[in-house]
Structure 1
Amino acid sequence: MAGIAGLVFLLAAVTQAVSGFGSAMVAVPLLAIAVGPATAVVAATLVSLPLTAGAWRRERAHVDGRLARVLTLAGVLGMPLGLFALTRLDDRSLTALVGVGLLVVVALMWRDVTLPAGRGSLWASGVTSGLLLTSTGMNGPPLVLSLQGAGLAPRRFRATLQAVFCVQDLVAVAAFALTDHLDATTWAAAAGGVAGLPVGWAIGNRIFGTLSPERFRAVVLAGLVVTAAVALGNAFLRS
């Protein structure tokens, strides 16, 4: 288990370092094959916490504080509904939700969709991200779409995302603990995942800035399509 999780999260950390987001979108569908979707969601959030905390610490000078505060607070408001879905949905439904969610993300990114940078849009994105975090582990898409609309430079974009991810992850882990989602299997998967983080981030950080925007976009979209197919195939096999 720890070895599988280590490899999965190594790949996830590469994605996070290169793009600023995407670790859960890689980790949850793949890890769900081994441990089930609910455990994968919780383990991915546990592993994301040290990953994003370290990135936030290293790049804190580049964080847009106003955007980070609004998106974080709004995210906390959306978490209870996502936690309800995680608790109530069966494994097949939850896995299918992850897969469909990824395909929606791919479609939005393919169409270069961005959200307006107004206050209402920020709050809506934040609430949606919190809901998605505690139900699928994938809180990145609405945050990415919103921050793209704000027109942040790449390093400021990545740094602000890490700050929001870190605080949202911390609150989500506390919620998972209060609802008895932190079992032995989850901790084992998370421990293996944490072991794979340093190598994955180091590889991804070397890649960051070397890919052209067009090639980077193609690689990200292709990877998300593959992981979505894995999730939907897993859901079908569970029927």
Structure 2
Amino acid sequence: MDILLFLIIIFIASILQTSTGFGFSILATPFLLLLFEPMEAIQINLLLSLVISAVLIKKLLKDVDTGILKRFVMGSVIGLPIGMMTFLFIDLNLLKLGISVIILVLTLLLVMRFRMKQYKKRDFVVGGLSGSLTTSIGMPGPPILLYFSGTDTKKEILRSTTLAYYLFIYSISLVVQLIFAGTSKTVWVSSGIALPLVLIGLYVGQKLFVRINQTTFRIFTYIILLFTGLYLLLESL
């Protein structure tokens, strides 16, 4: 493993997560999969994302949309076991291909100013999709990011609600992963090494957040989604 590359990935992903609320798993997971086995990459992502959410959530509780958060959580309870079965039994390349096409198509629609309304039933569905992606490929962010972008959610609510949701979903997903897929020493040692960079990234990301306006925030969102979709597409071919 290239330790320097690993630390750079974690540092940049931590800044992105803190400044936007959704960037860590979307950015880190693809690169971690180049350095680690799938199980190790997913669990490192889960551990460090959990730390970020736990550290930040107290400061952001006032902006959390508790109604949407509850529906996301309820939907994810159904999605989590589905994702775990997918991870254990289904060809992940086919899954990545399907997800990449959906992300790219929806992102292009968002760029073209396609918008949707936020409904309770849609909250449940998005939570279910996010839960299934968490335990299957370690990336809960795309469904929520697409949904919030399509409904023009304010950046403060997006970041806070997403981080609060991640605190739940990452905790449960990590337990599910440990029970059904096991773990390794590499996961815990690597996570420990990366932790100081995560904390520095949290500080830098907080400073950046106050300087990002809504338009810039939306552009960041589209770039991250396009990157994720293209990466998963290339990985599946």
Following TM superposition, by how much is the alpha carbon of 1:233 offset from its aligned partner in structure 2, in angstroms? 4.5
5 Å matches for 1:1-239? Answer: 1=1, 2-89=3-90, 92=93, 100=101, 103-104=104-105, 106-148=107-149, 152-226=153-227, 228-236=229-237
- 1:152-197 CA deviation, whole Å, 9 max, x = no partner? 4322221111111110111101101111332222223333333321
CA, structure 1 residues 117+95, in 2 after alignment: closer, same or farther (shift >3 Å)?
Answer: closer
Which runs of 5 or more residues in structure 1 are unaligned? none
CA, structure 1 residues 97+145, in 2 after alignment: closer, same or farther (shift >3 Å)?
Answer: closer
Following TM superposition, by how much is the alpha carbon of 1:9 offset from its aligned partner in structure 2, in angstroms? 1.6
Q: CA RMSD of the aligned region, Å?
A: 2.8
CA, structure 1 residues 107+152, in 2 after alignment: closer, same or farther (shift >3 Å)?
Answer: closer
CA, structure 1 residues 198+233, in 2 after alignment: closer, same or farther (shift >3 Å)?
Answer: same
CA, structure 1 residues 157+234, in 2 after alignment: closer, same or farther (shift >3 Å)?
Answer: closer
Name which of structure 1's ranges 66-75 and 150-159 shifts more when overlaid on structure 2: 150-159
Following TM superposition, by how much is the alpha carbon of 1:64 offset from its aligned partner in structure 2, in angstroms? 1.7
Name which of structure 1's ranges 106-115 and 176-185 shifts more when overlaid on structure 2: 106-115
Question: TM-score normalized by structure 2?
Answer: 0.84
Which runs of 5 or more residues in structure 2 are unaligned? none
Following TM superposition, by how much is the alpha carbon of 1:114 offset from its aligned partner in structure 2, in angstroms? 4.5
For 1:181 and 1:96, the matched residues in 2 are separated by: 26
CA, structure 1 residues 66+92, in 2 after alignment: closer, same or farther (shift >3 Å)?
Answer: closer
Q: Which amino acid aligns with 1:26?
A: L
Q: Would the aligned equivalents of 1:25 and 1:102 in 2 still touch at CA under 8 Å?
A: no
Following TM superposition, by how much is the alpha carbon of 1:63 offset from its aligned partner in structure 2, in angstroms? 1.5
CA, structure 1 residues 63+174, in 2 after alignment: closer, same or farther (shift >3 Å)?
Answer: same
Name which of structure 1's ranges 195-204 and 161-170 shifts more when overlaid on structure 2: 195-204
CA, structure 1 residues 117+131, in 2 after alignment: closer, same or farther (shift >3 Å)?
Answer: same
- 1:20-69 CA deviation, whole Å, 9 max, x = no partner? 21211100111111113343222211211011122212211221222211
Q: Would the aligned equivalents of 1:116 and 1:146 in 2 still touch at CA under 8 Å?
A: no
Name which of structure 1's ranges 114-123 and 104-113 shifts more when overlaid on structure 2: 104-113
Name which of structure 1's ranges 107-116 and 9-18 shifts more when overlaid on structure 2: 107-116
Q: Would the aligned equivalents of 2:103 and 2:226 in 1 still touch at CA under 8 Å?
A: yes
Q: Which amino acid aligns with 2:202?
A: W
Q: Would the aligned equivalents of 2:52 and 2:198 in 1 still touch at CA under 8 Å?
A: yes
**Count, aligned residues:** 236
CA, structure 1 residues 152+229, in 2 after alignment: closer, same or farther (shift >3 Å)?
Answer: closer
Q: Would the aligned equivalents of 1:38 and 1:94 in 2 still touch at CA under 8 Å?
A: no
Q: Would the aligned equivalents of 1:9 and 1:27 in 2 still touch at CA under 8 Å?
A: yes
Q: Would the aligned equivalents of 1:97 and 1:136 in 2 still touch at CA under 8 Å?
A: no
Q: Would the aligned equivalents of 1:49 and 1:169 in 2 still touch at CA under 8 Å?
A: yes
Q: Which amino acid aligns with 1:177?
A: L
Following TM superposition, by how much is the alpha carbon of 1:230 offset from its aligned partner in structure 2, in angstroms? 4.7
Q: Would the aligned equivalents of 2:6 and 2:32 in 1 still touch at CA under 8 Å?
A: yes
Q: Would the aligned equivalents of 1:37 and 1:91 in 2 still touch at CA under 8 Å?
A: no
Identity %: 22
